[in-house]
Structure 1
Amino acid sequence: MPKSKVRKKPDYNNNAASRTPVKVKAGPSPVWYVAIMLGFMLAGLIWLIVYYLAAEQISWLNDLGAWNFAIGFGLMVIGLVMTMRWR
């Protein structure tokens, strides 16, 4: 039985200069970062709770209408996005 030919794989020459390591800042997040992150999430939650419970007594809050949902959820999303940088 004839022996099959050995195929030589092409050499992929990686340039060492393009693979320089990048230092990543490691370590825990400062306390103020966590406080602000949680503050945004709680502020959004409180905004929505106040809107549901007392919108009729607060005229400017009632005038915003459906924008209250955008404000409340927007504050919570800011806090949620901040969690991606939290260590």
Structure 2
Amino acid sequence: MPKSRNDRKKKAVYTPPPSAAKPKVSPRWLAPTMLGFGIFGVLWIATYYIAGVDGKIPFMGELGNWNLAIGFGGIIICVLLSTRWH
């Protein structure tokens, strides 16, 4: 007896191969450290502009524009750490 047309066109159902690689997991210290540096940098710059320029905080007045380098350094470290987060 001849086969019907539907039997000839059936294809096997695709099943993807099992993944052998484990999903990457970030270290536990990464997120708190990243947020800490980011918040530190923003707060340092804000504090410098609010109180450090007028000389209300003595050590900030002595650092001058290096305060911006310290604040942006914290923000840059935060961004660099965020690239390692999975």
Please give the range of the TM-score, normalised by the shorter of the 2 chains. Answer: 0.5 to 0.7
Q: Does 1:70 align with 2:45?
A: no
Q: Which TM-score applies when normalising by structure 2?
A: 0.68
Structure 1 residue aligned with 2:17: none
In the TM superposition, what whole-angstrom CA distance separates every residue of 1:13-50 from its partner, at most 9, and x where no partner exists?
xxxxxxxxxxx874221332101001101100000011
Over the matched positions of the two proteins, sequence identity in percent amounts to 41
Q: Distance in 1 between matches of 2:64 and 2:76?
A: 20
Q: Does 1:47 align with 2:29?
A: no
Match of 2:30 among 20, 28, 33: 33
- Secondary structure of 2:29's partner? helix
Where structure 2 has 5 or more consecutive residues not aligned to the other structure, the ranges are: 1-20
Structure 2 residue aligned with 1:12: none
Q: Which has the larger radius of gyration?
A: 2
